[in-house]
Chains A and B, each alone.
Chain A
Amino acid sequence: ETGVTQTPRHLVMGMTNKKSLKCEQHLGHNAMYWYKQSAKKPLELMFVYNFKEQTENNSVPSRFSPECPNSSHLFLHLHTLQPEDSALYLCASRRGVEFSEQYFGPGTRLTVT
């Protein structure tokens, strides 16, 4: 496999469910990101991990919980979500947090009912 992969690609969950999104990068990068993309809005940065350490949390509600067990894997644990959390969730990786471009996964389309 190459690049950045995300599973599942689509997810429908109720407000009381618990689910997890998974991201894996095969690029040897050290930084990983979670973004939320809603229609006609800028990409919203949620979390940044650099060498497995969380370096940014952009005031994300606690119902979103990230986990980064190693530099290649990133999870986003979801619980008691709200309908307004329905969006495309994108994972990205980068060689370092400074100058290089980000490589994005295909995203998980999340619908909260």
Chain B
Amino acid sequence: GQNIDQPTEMTATEGAIVQINCTYQTSGFNGLFWYQQHAGEAPTFLSYNVLDGLEEKGRFSSFLSRSKGYSYLLLKELQMKDSASYLCAVTNSNYQLIWGAGTKLIIKP
């Protein structure tokens, strides 16, 4: 089968750095997405990785290792508004999007 694993919940402190991991087993690979979803709202796109390495976008960075089936989302200088769920999704060889269950990130003052 195909699946994506992410931690269910993480807690971090305002101003700190947090890393949210995602591991995947899919039939082929055509890219990995990270989305942010605030409670009661729609998911919004954060990043896309298709090649190995680190993609940086402001306070957020996303890393991919295709050989390890592994990605992480790194959030720096955490703010209270970063409290949300973070969804990892992989496009397989049939261009289907396989979704993880999401990681709920709680930021404490």
* Interface presence of A102 (CB below 8 A): yes
Q: Contact check: which of B42, B101, B102 meets A104 at CB < 8 Å? A: B42
- Nearest Cβ on chain B to A48's Cβ, whole angstroms: 8
* Interface presence of B29 (CB below 8 A): no
A101 vs B30: C-alpha distance when bound (angstroms): 12
Residues of B with Cβ closer than 8 Å to A?
4, 8, 30-31, 33, 41-45, 48, 50, 87, 89, 91, 95-97, 99-102
User: Chain A: interface secondary structure?
Assistant: loop
A100 vs B43: C-alpha distance when bound (angstroms): 15
Size class of the contact patch on chain A: 10 to 19
Can you list, as one digit per residue, whether each of A40-57 has a CB less than 8 Å from chain B (1) or not (0)?
A: 111101000000000010
Verify A98–B97 contact, CB threshold 8 A. no
Q: Contact check: which of A42, A56, A98 meets B100 at CB < 8 Å? A: A42
Verify A106–B102 contact, CB threshold 8 A. no
Residues of A with Cβ closer than 8 Å to B?
4, 40-43, 45, 56, 90, 97-99, 101-107
**CB contact under 8 A between A43 and B30, given known A104-B43, A105-B42:** no
**CB contact under 8 A between A41 and B101, given known A56-B96, A97-B95:** yes
Smallest Cβ-Cβ distance to B42: which chain A residue? A104
Verify B95–A104 contact, CB threshold 8 A. no
A43 vs B42: C-alpha distance when bound (angstroms): 12
Verify B87–A104 contact, CB threshold 8 A. no
